[in-house]
Each structure stands twice: as C-alpha cells, then as structure tokens.
Structure 1
C-alpha cells in the first residue's frame, strides 16, 4: 500500500479499494461531480462529500511530502542527517511533528544561544546538564575570556544554550501543547482609550472576556479576533504556568546541587521566552483554523441552499428594483430572461405618482403578457409590494419579493457590461432581480459568492480556503441541476464538470456563430473541447428538442447503447420507454451488468428514464409578510409572524419578517430539545412562522422563537 493511500485511509476511514480507485480517477483528471455520479462502481458509491475529503487529504499529503523533501535536503546539506532522523522524518504524519524534528537544525536568526556558542560556552552548558558538578561557579570561571567578562556571564550564556535545548525537545513541546489544548484560557482586556468609540460598541461584550479556548464557539472566537485586529482589545492565552514548569523540571532535573539551580533558571527562561510564546501562538492558529473551517462550513451549507432555491422557471417576469427618490426601475423579461423593455416609475415620495405608476405596471404586464412580478427586498420594498398588490391585473399574476444581495456587485461587473453594454447599472440590477426569480442558480453563479450575503465573518477567515470551498459548492450545485447548453451564460457553463472558463467561452462563441446545439454530438465540434472534456461534461449539458431524447437527460452518452439495447429487448422505442415507469420497473437489470457497468449505474439510468431531466429543486411559492408590520416599532412580544430565513449561523438563524432589521432565532429557541445543527431545523429561504419573544429598539435587536 502506498504512503498516500495509507495517509488518506487513516484520515477518512474509507475502504481501501474505494480510496485507491478514486485517487486513480482524480489522477486521470476526472472531476468530483463526474466521479460521484458516473463512476459509482469504481468508488464503491462514494458521494461528492467523501470524494471531496479524499481530494483534501491528497492535497495535504502533497504539502507534507514537499516539506519532508525540503527538510531532508537541508539536513543533507548540513551533513547532520542520520538514519534515525531520516526515518522519523519520513514516517511523520503531521506538519507540527515534522517542524519539531527540524527545529534544532534550523538556521535561525542571531539568538542568545548562538551568541553563547560563539563565545565557547556550549561545553559549560553540557557540564551543567550532566548535573555532576557541585561547585558550578568555579567551573564557570574557566570560561571567562574575550566577550565573557565574569562567571556570572558564563553561566548566563550557558543557560541560554540550555533553554534552547529545552525548547527543541519534542516531548516537552508536546506536553505543553497538550496542556494548551486541554486547559488554555483565552482572556481579553479592553484598550481604554478606544472603548468609547462608536465602532467599538459591537464588541463591548468582549471587552473583558475569559473563556476556555477549546470550548469557545467559532463565531465568538472570530469576533474576538476581529476586535483585536481593529485595536479595541488585547488578548492572551494562559495555562497554569507553575504546573507546566514543574512538569519540565521533573523531566530534566535529576539532582539537588548548583547545576540543578542553573537548570531551573534555564527552564523558567525557556518556558517564558521560547516555549509559551511559540506554542500559544500555535494554539491560537489551530483554534483559528478550526473556527475558519466551522465558519466556512456554515457558509458552504448556506450557499448550497441559496443556489438550490426554488426557481419559478421559464415565465415572463416584470422585475422591480424599488427606491424612493430615485424611483423604481422596471424591466420586462421574456421566459428566457432576455430584456424586452425598461422604464422608471416614481410612486413614492417625493414625487408620489402612485396612480401613474400603477397604470404603467398594469399596461406593461398586459403588453408583455407578464406571468410574475419580482420585487427587490431593499429600500422601499414593502411600499412597492403594497402598491403592486393594489393593481387590478387582467390575468392571474404572482408577486414575489426577491433578495437583492449582490445585485449591485453583478450590475457593475464585467459580466453585466458584456451582457448589457448599452444599459446602466440600475437596469442591469433590475434584470438580475428578475432572473433570480426565474432561475436563482443560473443568475447567482455570476456573482462572487462572498457578496451574496450568507454566512458570517467571511472576511475574517482564510480567503483561499473559503474561495476553494465555495467554488466546490457552486460546481456541485450546477452539476446536480444540469445546464441547458443553448441558454446558459458563460458563467454557468464554466462550472460544468470538465469545462472551465476557457471552454465555456468557446461554447458560448460557437453557439453565437453556428446557432443552437442540436445534439450532444455537436458539442464535440467546439474548438479545443477534446474527448476528456466531453466525457466529463456531456451528461451535465442538456439539449432540449434533440432528435435523441436522452440528450435532455442525465444519462451519460457512454450509456446510450445500454438504453438502446433495453428498449430493443422489450420491443419498444427509446421515446416510448422514457417516462413509462411501469415498463421500466420490469426490466431485469442484471442482464445488462458488465465489468464496467454495475447495478448502481443501471439503477441511476432507470431512475433518470422515469423522469428525464427532472429538476431537483422545488418550484417557487408566493409569500406574503404581515402587512401591519412595517418597522421595528410595530413588533410586540408574543406576536406570531410569517418570515423567511435569510441567514444561518452556528448560533441560530436570522429571519426576515418584512422590516429593515432581521430577527434572530437563537439556537436555544429553535427547539425544546438539544439542537446539534441549525440546518436540521430550518433551511435558507424557508418560509416559517416565528414568535416575537423580545424587542430591543435602541440596539435594533429582535429575538424570535420558531413556532411549530
């Protein structure tokens, strides 16, 4: 078994064959969505999360191996690499262990110990550590020369060397690590001159705070780190110093003479000057990494739910970006999201032309055969919604309030300028609002996920790690839903398995020049789209009205011959088999098993044939806020209100109840029993009923309880 395989199995606990085959597929440039969907036999039916874990630990192993090689090379150059040290380095499974092994050999900057060595005091340090000399001061006199002016100076220099030796001992470092891990207390102190600043008030709960580092929730830890970064508090990590020092003494001091006294002084120096600062910073970084992972996980879950929000589908939409002084921007979109008309109305103060606005909305809905209205949830949203609901439409038109989060980012982006070069940002923003109702996924992939407004502390976590995780979420969501190749934007196409930005642009340009793709085989004609990209992406690209109905399904082209044989064996055409559940259920799948195609793949094929191209997302539903609640002042304790979950964190869920301020359902108010995961009780954009339990108007805070 290879070292890589052993490493990943030790971290994931997944079966050896599953891991081995997954690594092989990854090395063949297969993507996670493709592997999880179309190579189930080889992976043992691993899902995208498990495959993602294999990818993560494969990357960690590569980093570890690269560092091992760099250290081994450095030690060889120094001519200090012994067989024992080499074996320890090569068998290391953690970066911290590796760095501890390398620590004694690092070419560090000028240190007190290095200066003492140059002054010839290392032999004295060795004599002290032997603990055999009874009058060490007399021995120290022999080392008084040049830069060493006295026995006192000699002993001090020797102690610096001993302190460095103590700092480099792996067993001692691991012991203090263990104490920091189990018993470390994080404490903060407010920086008095800054305490009264207005921007400091949001951190006032942490001005003088103390909590176990291992138990502090990730959101609180990240808030404290931000408060420190902005200069409002100082923080430190503490353990029982006396206990830690006594443990070191027991490991080193074996006598009761003047040497022991010198060693004790060196131990205290090593602990205070070297060990504690280094290892407490390490403990802080580990806690930060864990908090980052937790925050990123919440962000990723939220993003997945948001991207898979209910679409209205291909309906003609009137989108409204509401506003007071600047008016409400109207756009009319056809069923494919193409802009047909735009205008501005002024129903609200200062112009207050509500009658003219209502007439305009009515006439546009009739002229463009509008089926739904999307209203942005920003400034003047409630007032605009109330106005629209007063309009008497000739047809049944559904009215939706849509999140504007990130719309302004999109409207000023290069993507928006390319789509609408002749329109200003206000029109582009309105189009985005309308398209979000039609298909949230297709529109939101155009916006940097960090700008969509879900999650917390996204600017405080490791940005590379965050971006990587969010890209994985977007890719998984896009491929789970599938993409209509003839209507998809370049942004949406770029997330399709095996495609990427360059091929997405090539597909888009080919479509613009040659017209719509008529079959999946046509995809092969796209410049630079080779066999591998076709294998990875074809099944996620859908073609409506193709001669082959399988082109609008998730059945992979490599499996078309199997479907053809199934249909032939039962004497039917492929067209008559699709959607015919009764016939499909009678097929004996065992007849079609081969070395590469097993029951898992065949069951997926049958499931897809029953409902080809089925959208995994639910349809959008109309929602109405309580029309009597317009500001925080209208809230009363005990009130039951309809609301929409607009953010989820580890400590609870935020809910939009139709006013400027979102209310919080604290984790303790989600259920009468213990809540392990907020997502088990609510999901993003879920329509729920909440009970108002507390309103703090000065601080603009609303406490809610989930009403069952």
Structure 2
C-alpha cells in the first residue's frame, strides 16, 4: 500500500497536491510556511487540509512500522508464509493487522495452551470436523497425565476450540459490526460512594443508559471520569443471544455430539474472550472519537482566545484584585515593561477605598495611563466599581481581563527569568496587563491546558491534545506575525522553523547587538541557517525598517518581484505601499513564473495594500450589569450582558459578572437546530442573555441567547 493512496482515500484531495505536500513535509517545511508560501505546489491547500495530510502521513508511518515489527516476529517464529505476509502487507488499518497477528501472539499462559500441552489439540480437531458421534469415547483415549476424567479432556478441547473461534477474523468483525450498530452503554452508582460530595456532580449518571454510537462526546467523557473516580460502574451490552446465534451459524453444520461441544465452546469463547475484548475495543473507539471531538472544541476555543482583540501598544495599569491581601497594582509602558508596582487595600478588612482611589488616580497621571486592566477573579466586581468612581484627567478605558492561567505563569520558569526580582503576585498582575495589550504574546507563555477553555482536557489522550494545541498556537502566531525586536523567547519559539533553541539564540543576539534593522540581519544569529531563514523570515517583522517589505508578510524570496513591479511602473517600492490606485495598475499575469503563480502574487498584492495588517479586531470596553453581584441577585426573565468564556459541543458558558458562569444549552442558542455552536457564538464575544433558570443549591444558571 502506498502513502499517497492511503492519504488520498481518507482526504479526497488531489494526489498531486498530496505528493507535493508530503515532499515539503519531508524537507522539514512547517504547516504555516507551506500553506502561505507554497500554494502553487499544494494546489492552494489551506492549513486544515495540510494538517490532515500530516495526520494521515503519521498514521501511515505508524502502521508501516507496526507491520515491520509483526513480520519480524512471525519470521522469528517460523510461521511466516507468503500468503500471511501478503495479508499483513495489504492491511490498511491497525485492527485488521492485529487480528492477523492474534493467533501468533506470545502471551501469558492460557487455558488453550495448557490443553495443548496435555495433548488435546487432536481431540479438538476431531470435534471441529463434526464427523464423530460418540465424543465421550474419543475423549476417554486422552485421559492420562494431568487429565483425570473425560470431562476434563472435553473441557480442554473446548478451550482450544474457543481460542480458534476467538481468532477468526470474520467472527470478530461480525461482533464488531453488532457493537458498532447496537451497543448500549449503561451505568450504575456505587452505593458506598453515592452520598459523597464529589459524587454529586455525576448524579445524572448514577443510573443511565444510551446507545454507544450516539452518545455525545462530553457525556461519554463525563461517564468515564465518574467511573475512573469510582462513583459508577459502566457496562457495554448487545443482544448476546443474537450474537451467539450468528457465530453458531458460521460454525455448526451438524446435529451430533460434536455440535453440542462446539456450542458450549462458542458460549465460552464469546463470554470469556470475544465480548470482553471487543466490547472494550468498542468503548475505546468511542473514547477516541470523544477525544477527537473534545480536542477539536478545545482547539477552536484556544484559537479564538489567542486571536482575541489586542488593545495594542498602550500604557496600562493592571490590577490583580483581592480582599484581605489587597489589590496588586502594576504600571506598564506601551511595550509591556514594568514601570511601577504597589499594593492597595480598598476592600475589607482595611477598606481604604479613598486612599486607593487617590493612589490609582495619581499613578494614572504620573505614568500617562491609557487603559486599566482588572483581573476577573476574587474582588473583581468590587474593584471595577471602585475604578469607575474615579474621575481621571485623561481618557482612561477600563477592561476586565481573564485571569485564567495567570497564576501558572507567575510561578513559571519563564516568569522568573523575566522578573527575577519580583514575587508571584507582581508577575501575575503584569501578566493581566500584558494580555490586555496583546493576548497572543502573553498567552503563549502558558501551557494551553491551563488556560481553561476546554472540557475534560485531563481525560483525553494527552499526546493528541498537546499536538493539536501546539499546532493551534503555531498557526495563530504565524498568522499574526511577530515583532522580532520585542517578542519574548516563548513567542519566538512558535515562529515557523524557529523552535525554542533558535528563539533563545535570537533573544541573546538581540540583547548583545541591539535591535534588528532588517530581515537580512536575522541570518547573523548563531545556528540560524538557510532553512530556518526560509521557513521563518516572512513571519518575523521589523518595525520602521529601511525596506518596508521587512514589516510585511511578503517573503524575502519575493522581494525581487515587488521591486520589478515598482520599476515597471517607474516607481519605488515605498511608493507602492498602501497606494491602491497604483497597485491596481499591476498586471499580475506578467509576473507569473514556473515557481510563482497567481495565488502567491495575489497574496503579495494584499500585503502591499495593507502591509503588516493585524488580522485581529481591536479590544472593546465591556460593562456587566452593576446590580448583579451574586447568584442570589438573578431572577428568571432578566436580560443581562455577558461574555462567552467557554464553548463546548453542548452549548457555551457565559460570564455575567458573578462567580458562577451560566450555560446556554445548544437548544437555547437558536430557535432552529444548531449543529455547530461556533456558528452562533465565539469565545470572548459580547452578547445579551436571558435568564431561564437559577438553581442556587447546585450553583447552576440556565441562559438563552437573546437576539
């Protein structure tokens, strides 16, 4: 089986596009680079399609590796026939491959193996031939050694037959088919743990039954978590009688003593070997699908969060609010550097609100503050109310910023390196202010799983989750572009072709030699070779450069084309930048070559029109309903402003300015059927919701999207 055919059968993409993309991947090109700068080779595939090629390429290589291992094992055992080898090599998935290998697996001591050592395989073969009538007389001949009775001999023969049945691919696939179509998953509470406080969040699943192939991903993951924590027991069931009858139809063709023994062996094979193994496989397959769905939601949420609206290069006063320990204040310059820090105590027990207001007012004036960022944790609402009472001399915007992950950052190695002389509370405040200035640049410093925009992230396959989230971060960073002269090592490490080591080299080179003045300067960084420059240069931006293209997404390999366009118009490159009327005069077909076609040229024109344009929207001020401070203030029918702070497959959670987030169930997002929550709301979107139900004991709030 060929790689191209394997990928093509699963993606339906043109084989030429797959072939060229695979070659680029083999040449260590990254997904962002391929999707942006090799459109002619890929047939204009986007990053999602290229990521699919990466996924199936990895799958194929894992399959081929497993085939090699199995073929070697079979050869070492001396059982590899040309027919078996052909079947192994033709396998297109791991399940088929493992079924072929099953009869030859060296496993722990089995009942069938014991029976073989007792010399019972000939008896099993006679019974399977179904030609003998007096099976007991035949079995008597094998009563010797460790066998003391006819029944022991027959039982041993049945164990061998049961193993043969278990190893039959057609039978295994038939049961798989039944599990796939008809399996039910059911749960029962563990009585001894039913009343425990931690068990109550799983109360809905104390007695549950549902079709396995229809259960939503979030529900399956919740059920499996409840089982792993010991609160419930999970069972997979199908119609056993129907399954047994189908096996009998495939094997039994007589009506004698042999048939009776085979029937017993079939029941044993089904109960002891087939069903436990295949039902577990079915549950694992469902878990894989649930993982994929959960990871997909997490990835979509993370992308929206990372591409959240930046305030930009503005001077910010950031506050990490608190009661007893006070509010930690930092003042940051437009580039996010720390200028000042202090702690104020406006709330109980000290309640120095007047002193706090004076301090914030004087700091805002002294450091020419343009915006205030307030963390959305404890005392956030009280702090926001205090800030809004202050009459600032300048126009100061007030924002409430998510604190999710700020504590993780503040205690991290990255934070200690950035601010070695400050404690975690100051670092946390700095992070809050910086994520208002540029969410992407700050959030890349935090493990994505700690940001809190997914569900059941600890229950899904961690390797797959990490791969997916890393890909999202990489794509977001490269979609926005990075200012090489201000970027942190964390941000630089996600630039196409750079990675952590080169990011550190860039950072150190910058500290020792000052700011980069052109993209060509990047080549002076130690160990940054031609390949890394090719992959990353166009995503690294130089602000206020001599060559304006250095602050654009135009790749250095295309500079000559832009220069030729300008020369043909009798102009300089600088004359083209932002000049729509002049750009319209360019005949793109004139500049097409074998290497560069219209897709790339069209991208170049877009960049010339608006070079370095940030794809993100500008941050907007938002205000919660000031009369709603706790869940007790909520009433059914209220209309409230809110911000979407998490999206799942079953709906979205909304911050309405209190400790508890409310849920808009998927059925309350629209009056018509909703197939994709993301089609109706996006992360951090400002919306209006209607309160449908308030469950104070369980701290649950049901909302409806108001349009």
TM-score by length of 2: 1.00
- Displacement of 1:141 in angstroms is 1.1
**CA distance in 1 between partners of 2:328 and 2:203 (Å):** 41
**CA distance in 2 between partners of 1:67 and 1:653 (Å):** 41
**CA distance in 2 between partners of 1:380 and 1:302 (Å):** 26
Once structures 1 and 2 are overlaid, which stretch shifts more, 147-156 or 291-300? Answer: 147-156
**CA distance in 2 between partners of 1:202 and 1:690 (Å):** 25
- Displacement of 1:580 in angstroms is 0.6
**2:391 is matched with which residue?**
392
**1:38 is matched with which residue?**
37
- Cα deviation, 1:15-58, whole Å, max 9, x if unaligned, reads 00000000000000000000000000000000111100000111
**1:109 is matched with which residue?**
108
**1:537 is matched with which residue?**
536
**1:496 is matched with which residue?**
495
**1:218 is matched with which residue?**
217
**Is 1:367 aligned to 2:366, yes or no?**
yes
**1:174 is matched with which residue?**
173
**1:681 is matched with which residue?**
680
**CA distance in 1 between partners of 2:106 and 2:416 (Å):** 53
**1:263 is matched with which residue?**
262
- Displacement of 1:234 in angstroms is 0.8
- Cα deviation, 1:81-101, whole Å, max 9, x if unaligned, reads 111111111010000000000
SS in 2 for 1:390: coil
**CA distance in 1 between partners of 2:321 and 2:157 (Å):** 75
**CA distance in 1 between partners of 2:547 and 2:684 (Å):** 37
**Is 1:131 aligned to 2:137, yes or no?**
no
**CA distance in 2 between partners of 1:278 and 1:611 (Å):** 59
**Is 1:344 aligned to 2:371, yes or no?**
no
- Displacement of 1:581 in angstroms is 1.0
- Displacement of 1:667 in angstroms is 0.2
- Displacement of 1:11 in angstroms is 1.1
Alignment of 1:20-169 (within 5 A): 20-169=19-168
- Displacement of 1:655 in angstroms is 0.2
Q: Aligned residues, how many?
A: 707
- Cα deviation, 1:335-388, whole Å, max 9, x if unaligned, reads 000000001111001111111000000000000000000000000000000000
**CA distance in 1 between partners of 2:581 and 2:304 (Å):** 33
Alignment of 1:164-313 (within 5 A): 164-313=163-312
**1:423 is matched with which residue?**
422
Once structures 1 and 2 are overlaid, which stretch shifts more, 3-12 or 169-178? Answer: 3-12
- Displacement of 1:169 in angstroms is 0.1
CA RMSD across the alignment = 0.6
- Cα deviation, 1:237-285, whole Å, max 9, x if unaligned, reads 0000000000000000000000000000000000000000000110111
**2:327 is matched with which residue?**
328
**CA distance in 2 between partners of 1:546 and 1:378 (Å):** 41
- Displacement of 1:208 in angstroms is 1.1
**2:584 is matched with which residue?**
585
**CA distance in 1 between partners of 2:186 and 2:696 (Å):** 31
**CA distance in 2 between partners of 1:154 and 1:453 (Å):** 61
- Cα deviation, 1:569-591, whole Å, max 9, x if unaligned, reads 01111001010111112210000
**CA distance in 2 between partners of 1:599 and 1:253 (Å):** 67
**CA distance in 1 between partners of 2:130 and 2:107 (Å):** 28
**CA distance in 1 between partners of 2:442 and 2:246 (Å):** 60
- Cα deviation, 1:148-182, whole Å, max 9, x if unaligned, reads 21211111110000000000000000000000011
SS in 2 for 1:659: coil
**1:466 is matched with which residue?**
465
Alignment of 1:555-566 (within 5 A): 555-566=554-565
**Is 1:647 aligned to 2:646, yes or no?**
yes
- Displacement of 1:545 in angstroms is 1.1
**1:520 is matched with which residue?**
519
- Cα deviation, 1:268-320, whole Å, max 9, x if unaligned, reads 00000000000011011101111111100000000000000000000000000
| Structure 2: gaps (5+ residues) | none
- Displacement of 1:674 in angstroms is 0.5
- Displacement of 1:621 in angstroms is 0.2
- Displacement of 1:109 in angstroms is 1.0
**CA distance in 2 between partners of 1:493 and 1:94 (Å):** 38
Structure 1 consecutive aligned stretches of length 4 or more whose deviation exceeds 2 Å = none
**CA distance in 2 between partners of 1:393 and 1:156 (Å):** 90
Alignment of 1:444-463 (within 5 A): 444-463=443-462
- Displacement of 1:79 in angstroms is 1.3
| Structure 1: gaps (5+ residues) | none
SS in 2 for 1:332: strand
**CA distance in 1 between partners of 2:335 and 2:107 (Å):** 63
- Cα deviation, 1:61-106, whole Å, max 9, x if unaligned, reads 1110011011111111111111111111101000000000000111
**1:575 is matched with which residue?**
574
**CA distance in 2 between partners of 1:424 and 1:691 (Å):** 42
Once structures 1 and 2 are overlaid, which stretch shifts more, 584-593 or 166-175? Answer: 584-593
**CA distance in 1 between partners of 2:457 and 2:646 (Å):** 13
- Displacement of 1:60 in angstroms is 0.6
**2:689 is matched with which residue?**
690
**CA distance in 2 between partners of 1:105 and 1:451 (Å):** 45
**CA distance in 2 between partners of 1:24 and 1:532 (Å):** 15
SS in 1 for 2:374: strand
**CA distance in 2 between partners of 1:237 and 1:578 (Å):** 64
Once structures 1 and 2 are overlaid, which stretch shifts more, 51-60 or 74-83? Answer: 74-83
**2:432 is matched with which residue?**
433
Once structures 1 and 2 are overlaid, which stretch shifts more, 176-185 or 582-591? Answer: 582-591
**CA distance in 2 between partners of 1:701 and 1:36 (Å):** 43
SS in 2 for 1:26: helix
**CA distance in 2 between partners of 1:64 and 1:554 (Å):** 38
- Displacement of 1:702 in angstroms is 0.5
**CA distance in 2 between partners of 1:141 and 1:457 (Å):** 59
SS in 1 for 2:186: strand
- Cα deviation, 1:586-616, whole Å, max 9, x if unaligned, reads 2100000000000000000001110000000
- Displacement of 1:636 in angstroms is 0.9
SS in 2 for 1:498: coil
**CA distance in 1 between partners of 2:143 and 2:635 (Å):** 82
**1:357 is matched with which residue?**
356
**CA distance in 1 between partners of 2:225 and 2:467 (Å):** 22
**CA distance in 2 between partners of 1:77 and 1:412 (Å):** 53
